[in-house]
Amino acid sequence: MFTLAEVASLSDIQPTYRILKPWWDVFMDYLAVVMLMVAIFAGTMQLTKDQVVCLPVLQSAVNSKVQPDTSGKAEFTTVETTTGQEEASMRTVSFGSTPTVTPDILVSRATSSQYQPTESGQELKKEQKDSSGRKTNLDFQQYVFINQMCYHLALPWYSKYFPYLVLIHTIILIVSSNFWFKYPKTCSKIEHFVSILGKCFESPWTTKALSETACEDSEENKQRLTGAQSLPKYVSTSSDEGSPSASTPMITKSGFKFSADKPMIEIPSVTILDKKDGEQAKALFEKVRKFRAHVEDSDLIYKLYVGQTVIKTVKFIFILCYTANFVNTISFEHICNPKVEHLIGYTQFECTHNMAYMLKKLLISYISLICVYGFICLYTLFWLFRIPLKEYSFEKVREESSFSDIPDVKNDFAFLLHMVDQYDQLYSKRFGVFLSEVSENKLRGISLNHEWTYEKLRQHVSRNAQDKQELHLFMLSGVPDAVFDLTDLDVLKLELIPEAKITAKISQMTNLQELHLYHCPAKVEQTAFSFLRDHLRCLHVKFTDVAEIPAWVYLLKTLRELYLIGNLNSENNKMIGLESLRELRHLKILHVKSNLTKIPPNITDVAPHLTKLVIHNDGTKLVVLNSLKKMTNVAELELQNCELERIPHAIFSLSNLQELDLKSNSIRTIEEIISFQHLKRLTCLKLWHNKIVSIPSSITLIKNLESLYLSNNKLETLPAALFSLQKLRCLDVSYNSIAMIPVEIGLLQNLQHFHITGNKVDILPKQLFKCVKLRTLSLGQNCITSIPDKISQLLQLTYLELKGNCLDRLPATLGQCQLLRKSGLIVEDHLFDALPSEVKEVLNQDTSIPFANGI
């Protein structure tokens, strides 16, 4: 038996999927219940009342006599029934050695034996006179036996098993109708879909979100968004935006309405969602997006539904074909030939089936129900194949709402929406709004503006190294409107904001001259673009793919500095991101950090006015540099980490070049340096972090060289020709293998910064201290054992590095270096402590002269 709780648990499953039950499924469920009740009713009647009553067919009274039993003794059982009673009493009568069985025995509702030794002949005659009907010679057990035999032999099998067949067929139909709800691979998708759909339709915060995003077509709403005079009508001036007030009407569930004929959209009264509602709405958009990606990949739900419908249709045809043949076989009277004459004495019996009329009526009812069920199955198949159910279009929703970007869906997602439409089209209409990116962006903007207020943004403003006011926004859903109220902002950094939009309010930021877009393909309004075109001077763009660079970047005619960081491999995308640089007519500095294999020819479009070109590769070898020859106005050129093995010849054509930086390449020899004599304006040469082993004597031809950086190479000696560069002010040969400082260093009278840290120097030549203009002297990590007292001649020295040597003491003459202080003296503590107290006192004095190391 089923408990009430178990039955209730089965019924609780149905409301969960009711929105996926079209009218034909609901109707078939009810028909299945009725057929189930027919089966139960027929089965109950059969178990309690179904029986067959049989009588022998008598040919003549003479033939009905039975000869005496050869045993010489017979026993007869008679049934005595009292009027109004249901119990029968049986008694056995014995006869002599030759008893005779007569056919005059009467079987009736009141019978008695005609042979009783104690009764008189008169009584026997009276009983024979009262009895009626034709007499047989069968006792009670023989009747029971023949009834059971004829029940199984004479009755058609369908009359006996009709209730069980109906029960089995009905159970199969019920299982076929609901199998797609129980199959594991479809059940999870359906549960997730129903859960999301319910949240989209019923949750109060969802209704509020839809109200905010679906009223763009309203003229009154446009005035509220753009007209300042109508703003107080829709926006509360209360400081507590989340609490209701007399002047702030609340949004109710009826704020957003759909109609089957014509949508009716009610304009919301509040334009700001509280934080909790905003987070829930954003989470719902994310769930819809992930569910769509998961369900659109397959059509298993559609195939399973079609399959179970086909099974039900085939089942209907099968039931109808064999059931119709058995309607006429169910009758009240039956002829039975059990072939048990040796036990009964009769060959044929006529039987009656008491449930025949009831079963026939139930069978006709069942056939009627199954016909209706079958016609509905045929209609379902017609609906399944009439239109492509694996495609669903939101065209009507796009026409009736302001969200023209709602995409069409396919496969199982489309089929589920078609099924929902059979229940209520309002579900799919509301669900479609949550597929719109425009709707999601508006909702995110509402939540974002509520969270990032002007006061909060002001707290994130800081001063950068250039003493400019800077605001850095990281990983937001958009750009808060309050950002454009920071009118004194100089630098704006937007990082990882995929839906950034710069509105016309940016025109208020009159001090803004520098903009950073890191993985942020920002969109700008026309008015905002006009402002940026006239005011923006510096732009940094960091991207993964060149398509992330906004198209409006190449139209900023007054832009002075452009920094591009990302993948610009010319072999992959043919430099499509740099083809439009020709419009940047005032560009002075171009900084490209990428993986270039050649300098793109299109970069020459900005050659007439470009003064600085920086290319930082990621280790990709830069092999084609012919485009450099046309950039005659470039004054600063940096080619870093480009795997160059020699100094490119194209550089020698840059007559206006003043500074060349070839850091972090694979240059081994610099014999080409002789060609630098034609670069009359070259003053700074940076060849650091390479594999240079020697400096050619031709370096003396670069007469105007003022700064030379050769650190982190493989130099072992410094040629005397190097010290003929009279204009040299900075010389950096740190981290090489130099063992000696040539005495010719004293010729560099203009030398201000000398770095030889990380070498093998053990002795300092006295000529070094003739460079009286030295301000920075880096001698750390060498093998120096003593510092000459002549160091006192370096009166302008502000920075002295001695740490990492083999010194025993420091000269007391350090105190005569008037500008040197303890902060600029890099030495071991024990050496400093060993200095005389008066020297330490001088070195510990405060000074207002700023420290500079020249690097």
pLDDT digits (tens, 9 = 90+) for 296-315: 888 888 999 999 999 999 98
Q: Are strands 825-826 and 730-732 parallel, antiparallel or unpaired?
A: unpaired
Tell me the pLDDT tens digit for each residue of 428-455. 877 877 787 777 777 777 778 888 899 9
Average pLDDT, the chain: 78
pLDDT at 409 over 70: yes
Q: Provide the pLDDT for residue 274.
A: 64
If you average pLDDT over each of 79-83, 351-355, 407-411, 829-833, which comes out highest? 829-833
Q: Provide the pLDDT for residue 687.
A: 95
Q: Provide the pLDDT for residue 205.
A: 55
Q: Provide the pLDDT for residue 557.
A: 87
User: Where does the pLDDT of residue 68 fall: very low under 50, low under 70, confident under 90, or very high at 90 and above?
Assistant: very low
Distance of CA 291 to the CA centre of its chain: 7
User: Where does the pLDDT of residue 252 fall: very low under 50, low under 70, confident under 90, or very high at 90 and above?
Assistant: very low
Q: Provide the pLDDT for residue 579.
A: 56
Q: Provide the pLDDT for residue 355.
A: 83
Q: Coil, strand or helix: which one is 152?
A: helix
Q: Provide the pLDDT for residue 5.
A: 57
Q: Coil, strand or helix: which one is 493?
A: strand
User: Where does the pLDDT of residue 826 fall: very low under 50, low under 70, confident under 90, or very high at 90 and above?
Assistant: very high
Q: Which residue has the higher pLDDT, 241 or 667?
A: 667
If you average pLDDT over each of 395-399, 754-758, 831-835, which comes out highest? 754-758
pLDDT at 361 over 90: no
Helix (H) or strand (E) holding 776: strand 776-778
- CA gap 596, 615 in Å, rounded: 8
User: Where does the pLDDT of residue 17 fall: very low under 50, low under 70, confident under 90, or very high at 90 and above?
Assistant: confident
pLDDT at 825 over 50: yes
Q: Provide the pLDDT for residue 615.
A: 92
581 class by beta-carbon count within 10 Å (0-12 exposed, 13-18 middle, 19+ buried): buried
Q: Provide the pLDDT for residue 238.
A: 34
Q: Provide the pLDDT for residue 107.
A: 32
User: Where does the pLDDT of residue 162 fall: very low under 50, low under 70, confident under 90, or very high at 90 and above?
Assistant: confident
Q: Provide the pLDDT for residue 298.
A: 86
Mean pLDDT of all residues in 84-93: 34
- CA gap 681, 686 in Å, rounded: 15
Among 376, 359, 425, 416, which residue's Cα sits nearest to residue 397?
Answer: 425
pLDDT at 404 over 60: yes
pLDDT at 116 over 70: no
pLDDT at 59 over 70: no
pTM: 0.61
The percentage of residues in the chain with a pLDDT greater than 70, rounded to a whole number, is 78
Q: Taking the CA atoms of 394, 395, 400 and 405 in sequence, report the sign of the dihedral they define.
A: positive
- CA gap 74, 721 in Å, rounded: 153
The percentage of residues in the chain with a pLDDT greater than 90, rounded to a whole number, is 35
pLDDT at 108 over 50: no
- CA gap 259, 372 in Å, rounded: 33
